[in-house]
Amino acid sequence: MTKDQKVVAIQEIKDLLQDAKVVYVADLQGLNAAKSSDFRRQAFKQNIKVKVVKNTLLQKAMEQIEGVDYAEMFETFKGNSALMIAETANAPAKLIKDFRKKEEKPALKSAFVQETFYVGDENLDALVSIKSREEMIGEIIGLLQSPIQRVVSALQNKSETAEAKAEEAAPAVEETPAAEAPEAPTAESTEETPAAE
């Protein structure tokens, strides 16, 4: 790889890392071309960017990113490395875990998620259990809606009870006009009959 090619490669990695909140580095070594392709396809479907990178270039790119010190991850940059960038915190971990139901790899080397570093494959389960932003928002909305739903339900029950009481009182009032109403039509009907003759 020429110096210019390295500069281009580092810039591509930096572009991926810029503003990334979820960064995983995994080991895909041992996956044949078909399995590797399948892994990339599944990642693409889940909106996870996967790029196989050279460790030295990845480290140089990370060193140039401002605002985040990725130094804790550098010790894991050995052998084959694939950079995984996602929007959802646990998406790459779930993908790795699902893929490992059939395969021995990929293995998690390290990750930077929610401003915390996870080093080593033993952190995979912890990363899988991290709730995504959407899941957390959904839970919060559910918690907020619960008391509101109780209040609305209580108000509806109160208004239904009030309506039921009003209906109980109303028939007595309605019965009086109903008793008068039949008399009036009878008088009219007798008047109408002679008019028809």
pLDDT one-digit tens code per residue, 118-176: 999 998 888 888 776 666 677 777 777 777 777 777 777 766 666 666 666 555 544 54
Q: What is the pTM of this model?
A: 0.65
Q: Provide the pLDDT for residue 96.
A: 92
Q: Provide the pLDDT for residue 59.
A: 92
Residue 181 has pLDDT above 60, yes or no: no
User: Pseudo-torsion of CA 43, 47, 48, 52, nearest 10°?
Assistant: 70
Q: Provide the pLDDT for residue 187.
A: 47
Q: How many Cβ atoms from other residues are within 10 Å of residue 123's Cβ? A: 17
Percent of the chain with pLDDT strictly greater than 70 = 76
More confident residue, 24 or 163: 24
What does the pLDDT look like over 70-89, one tens digit per residue?
999 999 999 889 999 998 88
Q: How far apart are CA 167 and CA 170, in angstroms?
A: 5
Q: What's the rounded mean pLDDT across residues 18-41?
A: 89
Question: In whole numbers, what is the pLDDT of the chain averaged over residues?
Answer: 80
Q: What's the rounded mean pLDDT across residues 16-35?
A: 89
Residue 31 has pLDDT above 60, yes or no: yes
- The answer to whether the CB of 27 falls within 8 A of the CB of 106 is yes
Q: In the sheet where 22-27 sits, what is the strand order?
A: 49-53, 81-86, 22-27, 107-113, 116-119
More confident residue, 136 or 49: 49
With bands split at pLDDT 50, 70 and 90, how would you rate the model's confidence at 22? very high
Q: Provide the pLDDT for residue 134.
A: 65
Q: What's the rounded mean pLDDT across residues 45-63?
A: 92
Q: How far apart are CA 118 and CA 113, in angstroms?
A: 8
Pick the range with the lowest mean pLDDT from 52-61, 63-72, 164-173: 164-173
